[in-house]
Amino acid sequence: MVDAHEQIEKFQDFIDSEYKKELNKIINKGLRSLVVDFNDIAEFDHVLAEQLLEEPEDSIRAAEIALDNLGLGGKSIKFRVKNLPKAQMTLIRNIRSNHLNKLISFEGIVRQSSDVRPQVTQARFECPSCGDIITILQVDTSFKEPRRCSCGRKGKFRLLSKDLVDAQRLVIEESPELLEGGEQPKRLSVFLKEDLVEPKMERKTTPGSKIKITGIIKEIPVYLRTGAQSIRYDLIAETNYIEPVQETLEDIEISEEDEDAIKSLAKDPKIYEKLVMSVAPSIWGHEKIKEALILQLMGGVRKVRDDGTKTRGDMHILLVGDPGSGKSQLLQFISKAAPRARFVSGKGASSAGLTASVVRDEFLKGWALEAGALILANSGILCIDEMDKIPQEDTSALHEALEQQTVTIAKANIQAVLRAETAVLAAANPKLGRFDPYKPIPDQIDMPPTLINRFDLIFPIRDLPNKEIDEKIAKHILKIQKEPTKVQSIIPRDLLKKYIAYVKQKVHPKLTDAAIEEIKNFYVELRNQGSFGDDAIKPIPITARQLEALVRLAEGNARIRLGKQITKADARRAINILRYCLEIVGLDPETGKIDIDRISTGITASQRSKIVIIREIIYDLEESIGKSIPLEEIINNAAEKGIQQEQVEEVIERLKREGEVFEPRRGFVSRI
């Protein structure tokens, strides 16, 4: 190892010969740090490079003195290092005491970020007796004062000045891709100082973003409640350089062999059937649902317009079904097959855990932002099981995340907009635990209509006794129980994961005129199916929201076969899935027509129409009879307009609940 003077000279020569132009650019732009590639240092002098890894603090200080010696007009410029060798790349879980005071690099997702706060680096004191000026470097967490002066005086020194730098603390968590099975991701506190917390850099370190850090591992003392110091220490990383890792699916390595396998699969005419059979092969049936899940994994294409508005490309699917119908199994499979996924369940999820929370920062004594599941699954998929068990005040946090794909936080002194480009797959049980065959399905989903409306596809899964189907299911389950390893996907799960990652990176299909025509005709025909009475309200079978869902489904179909264009056949497949959904959930039994209001508001157009007619009858009778209107009169007038007695009683009951009418005495109705 070389001594400090020689080290400074070597760094001076290195910067002079390799980074002179770069340095001039930095001075002209008014930047505060020089970023150096480690490989350049190693090529210039391997001893210098070795010393930088083993004694980073002294080496970086020597490099910064060398930068000052080069005469930069009195500005102190920081020395930052990137591209450390692979041997220095460490997982957070593998950091040990032998890494202390060494320069290493690691990757992770930002879970928490605190406010930026000033921190003292050095303080100058004056001795009241002899007037001597004493400079103390502030290295620890506690502020240090001089103990004694050279003249012999102890204590009570006057603070002249102190140097402050901006500091911020991040909590970095391991990426979920690096974990195996049910491992808990490990965390590490990371400290940033000076130019690393500039507003421009701060945008790269918002919760949920993935970053690569080069830093020095340090230990900090832990104090017990008694005030004594513990024998255990905490680990932190003092950051030297931050590099944002692109938040894409590029973490999954796709070799040339994989690419060939994906391309040959896409050319297979039975690719749709093969993919459907590869989704949760342990569950028998549910082909339509499995097809929809494959399309959700493939996703649509996100579009950003010139005015800054965005159209989401992610599809949201809701499965509502009887117990034991295999919903959780499907969710578990998808959470393992998707390249980026998170799985949360019922009572174990809150609005803060799903979106983001603001927590107190015990280190820098401020507020910190912590990302939730939706943000951590950004550009992936979030599986929410037992969604009906999550309290309604918590699910309200999902409204913005599902449609706008952002999470806005305005709590304490933190205002932030976080990206949540996440597809949501949710499962829920009906209100009474099992579907009631006599009640409409939308009435049995215990979720607010506004939230249900955000889902592109809703699939009710009913468990009805049927001898043939029951026999097949029983055979399938018992076969799995007997030989668990025999049931395997046609397409292995690893290849399916790579297929999805490849499609999302490389395939961005565009609509053709034929596909546009097909979707437009379906939309216009379904919306204008004709009403069931001249003065009645027309049912709205489909809205623009479902039109966008159709485009997303068609894009997913085109992506499966790696198509650059969306054909008429893709549009037809999308229409079939949406029609299947609408017919199960949105069919009005009175009119036999599809009515989207059954899902979005809970009241069908035919019901709303009857409410309007009966309100008019009450107004007319009030003018002719007076305030107190006999119920018989209302029933007779409604019968002339084709509304039956039970329906009239049902509407009046609803109006009573809503506080529009009341019953002054039995058999009479009055408006409030």
Hey, what domains does the chain have and what are their CATH numbers? 4-83 (3.30.1640.10), 89-245 (2.40.50.140), 256-506 (3.40.50.300), 605-671 (1.10.10.10)
SS (H, E, C) 386-452: CHHHCCHHHHCCHHHHHHCCEEEEEECCEEEEEECCCEEEEEECECCCCCCCCCCHHHHECCCHHHH
Q: What token pair was written down for 343?
A: 């799985």
pLDDT at residue number 253: 65
> Is residue 92 scored above 80 in pLDDT?
yes
Question: pTM of the full predicted structure?
Answer: 0.66
Does 344 have pLDDT greater than 80? yes
Pairwise CA distance, residues 303 & 376, whole Å: 21
Question: Which amino acid would we find at residue 265?
Answer: L
pLDDT digits (tens, 9 = 90+) for 654-670: 788 777 788 888 878 88
Encoded tokens for 307: 């005015």
Give which of 587, 633, 628 is closest to 614, Cα–Cα: 633
Using the predicted structure, report yes or no on whether residue 535 has a pLDDT greater than 50: no
pLDDT band at 168 (very low <50, low <70, confident <90, very high): confident
Q: Percent of the chain at pLDDT above 70?
A: 86
**What is the secondary structure of 26-71 as a DSSP string?**
HHHHT--EEEEEHHHHHHH-HHHHHHHHHSHHHHHHHHHHHHHHT-
CA within 13 Å, CB half, 367: 12
Helix locations, 535-585, DSSP H: 544-560, 568-585
**Which tokens sit at 465?**
């006794």
For residues 207 and 114, give the distance between their C-alpha atoms in angstroms, rounded to a whole number. 10
**Per-residue pLDDT tens over the stretch 593-627:** 655 555 555 565 566 677 788 888 888 888 777 77
Q: How many residues does the chain have?
A: 672
For residue 667, count CB atoms less than 10 angstroms from its CB and return exposed for 0-12, middle for 13-18, buried for 19 or more.
exposed
Task: Judge whether 553 and 264 are in contact, CB under 8 Å.
Answer: no
Tokens representing 63 are 């490099």
Cβ proximity of 104 and 217 under 8 Å: yes
**DSSP designation for 250:** G
The model's confidence at residue 533, banded by pLDDT at 50, 70 and 90, is very low
If we measure between CA atoms, which residue out of 43, 34, 42, 47 comes closest to residue 81? 34
| Helices and strands counted in the chain (H then E) | 24, 27
Tell me which residue has tokens 């005071």. 101
Answer for the pair 280, 333: CB distance below 8 angstroms, yes or no. yes
